[in-house]
A and B are shown apart, each in its own frame.
Chain A
Amino acid sequence: MPPPSEAALRYAIIDRCLTNPYKPFPTMDVLKWEIERELKTSVSTATIQKDIAQMKKGEDEGGYSSPIKFKRSNQGYYYDLDKFPDYTIRSFGLNDKEIEAIELAAGVLKQFQGIKVNDTFNHAIDKLFSSVNIKKTAKDEILINAIQPEETTYMRGMEYFETLVSSIKKKIPVSFIHYSYDKKLFKAIIIHPYLMKESNKRWYLVGYSEEHKEVRYFGLDRIYDPVLIDKEFKENKGGDLRTLFDNKIGLNTIHDKEVEKPEEVTLWVSRTMANYIKSMPLHKSQSHKEYGGYGEILVTLHLVPTYELLAMILSYGKHMELLTPKWLRKEIEKELERSVVKYKKNKA
């Protein structure tokens, strides 16, 4: 992620000058000197004037609604604190510990900046970085390099993220075109949207589908051309949707929705992988017990079997073996047999 824009950094310096009780009413020359000293680059008076004008603009125009005034007698600038006591654009007077906590959170947020959810969001992160601690973020990128979350690659459909979140917030039904990877069919859907859910780095829109007459979720990568619809919003009456996915790994259940139910899944885990599985459970229902006394463990999960669970078990190869339920063990066995046949075929 790039550091905050030069403009955002200049705003933060101007703000600091205007809130410095020891040097009130900084002149244009003082502002210029401070900015050039901090950023180690020259800046024109016209640029600073534009910065001040921009800071005075409302948030909808990318500004801070800063009450900046000019005092002729001092030839300097100040915040109109009579109307806005303690005004600053800097993090609302946070202490060092709080700033550090925000730095960490901002570092995590930068993964979303990479996927360009929307410009407003990027601008907000820009502001956050610049206002939290200007010295760290200016040139040396200490903060930027301190945290490296997993990179999120661009997923088709993310360009609708903002529209869909806004429709959830405002309770406006949405019409969109959906393409089913399985059925290889399109359908025009009208959804009463409730939630955006992330699973395995994919985003899903959850809501009541008029077409299906029940709550469904649709992958953003399979959604086209959403249009907001003017009709009465159907409220969710099915309880807290955020818990709907609690008993699953991923979303795609192996059984049909009508018969899906949580089952007890037992896994054997090799001594090589045991500590990894113990330190980061596969699911929140996980419990484990030692097996054989040589470091192997038996893991028990209580969840609805999904294709994502199946893929996860297979990803551990010889280090993980599903013991029960039997029907799922058979599924894995078949899957592995197919793979062996494939690998044994001489494709060359």
Chain B
Amino acid sequence: MAKEKIKTKNIIQKNAGYIISNPEHSTANYNLQLLRITLTNLETKVDFGYQATSYYTNGGWIKISPKTFIRPKGTNKKLILTNATNIPYGPEKLHFNSSIEWRYFSLHFPPILEDANNKKSLMFDTAEPRTIESIDLIENEKGDDTDFNFYGIRLNDERKKSNIY
């Protein structure tokens, strides 16, 4: 019974979501690339690629704060990280062995696309769902450039949007 429940919960509705490939944002971080955002009725998933660097001994390390959140523009709502794939929660670290290593990882947040069929969000304090223009992804708001902070990640660029099959 429990299994059945999980199975049902994990089904993404057909055409009930979209991806944004290589989204635009206003943050420069040469080692960390924001690659793709998947918005469905189940979650908001953000995919990253990290290239280890010779700046650090043996390529350095990465981790993600469990307090990392996304904040849709026009709201004060913070949607806290629900899961991280291929990257540990801090203070645990993933240590690279050399500067030629890389890591593809994903951060999972609650859905912002609650009205998935209309590709709109119900997060705003308005009667009607609205399209979200952009989001910020913040690991540490008062941090430095080693924190995984991305501002103004565009979600409304139609050229970069594709519906999920």
- Residues in chain A within 8 A of chain B (CB atoms): 172-173, 175, 177, 179, 184-190, 211, 224-225, 227-231
In Å, the complex CA distance between A129 and B56 comes to 54
5 closest Cβ pairs, A-B complex: A186-B49, A228-B165, A188-B21, A230-B163, A188-B36
In Å, the complex CA distance between A211 and B15 comes to 23
B109 to chain A, nearest CB (A): 17
In Å, the complex CA distance between A274 and B64 comes to 59
Per-position contact with A for B99-138: 1 when CB-CB < 8 Å, else 0?
0101010100000000000000000000000000000000
Known A184-B51, A186-B33, A188-B22; judge A179-B164 contact (CB<8 A): no
* Main DSSP-derived SS at the B contact region: strand
In Å, the complex CA distance between A173 and B36 comes to 16
Residues on B with beta carbons closer than 8 Å to the beta carbon of A225: 47, 104, 106
Provide a sorted-by-A list of 20 A–B residue pairs whose CB atoms are within 8 angstroms: A175-B21, A177-B36, A177-B47, A177-B49, A184-B51, A184-B100, A184-B102, A185-B49, A186-B35, A186-B49, A186-B102, A187-B22, A225-B47, A225-B104, A228-B164, A229-B162, A229-B165, A230-B163, A230-B165, A231-B162
Chain B residue at minimal CB-CB distance from A229: B162
In the assembled complex, B19 has its CB within 8 A of some CB on chain A:
yes
| 17 additional contacts (CB under 8 A) given A186-B49, A186-B51, A211-B22 | A172-B165, A175-B21, A177-B49, A185-B51, A186-B33, A186-B35, A186-B102, A187-B35, A188-B21, A188-B36, A189-B21, A190-B21, A224-B47, A225-B104, A229-B164, A230-B162, A230-B163
Interchain Cβ contacts within 8 Å, total number? 62
Chain B residue at minimal CB-CB distance from A176: B36
Per-position contact with A for B7-24: 1 when CB-CB < 8 Å, else 0?
000000001000101100
In the assembled complex, B149 has its CB within 8 A of some CB on chain A:
no
In Å, the complex CA distance between A211 and B49 comes to 17
- Residues in chain B within 8 A of chain A (CB atoms): 15, 19, 21-22, 33, 35-36, 38, 47, 49, 51, 100, 102, 104, 106, 162-165
CB pair A179–B162 under 8 Å, yes or no, is no
CB pair B19–A229 under 8 Å, yes or no, is yes
Contact of A224 among B15, B33, B100, B104 (CB under 8 A): B104
In Å, the complex CA distance between A230 and B22 comes to 18
CB pair A188–B35 under 8 Å, yes or no, is yes
In Å, the complex CA distance between A225 and B163 comes to 16
B23 to chain A, nearest CB (A): 9
* Main DSSP-derived SS at the A contact region: strand
Known A227-B19, A227-B38; judge A188-B162 contact (CB<8 A): no
In Å, the complex CA distance between A22 and B102 comes to 66
CB pair B49–A190 under 8 Å, yes or no, is no
A277 to chain B, nearest CB (A): 36
In Å, the complex CA distance between A187 and B36 comes to 9
CB pair B49–A179 under 8 Å, yes or no, is yes
In Å, the complex CA distance between A186 and B30 comes to 11
Chain B residue at minimal CB-CB distance from A173: B162
Residues on B with beta carbons closer than 8 Å to the beta carbon of A173: 162
B25 to chain A, nearest CB (A): 13
CB pair A230–B164 under 8 Å, yes or no, is yes
B88 to chain A, nearest CB (A): 18
Residues on A with beta carbons closer than 8 Å to the beta carbon of B165: 172, 227-230
A92 to chain B, nearest CB (A): 35
Chain A residue at minimal CB-CB distance from B45: A225
CB pair B163–A229 under 8 Å, yes or no, is yes
In Å, the complex CA distance between A118 and B24 comes to 37
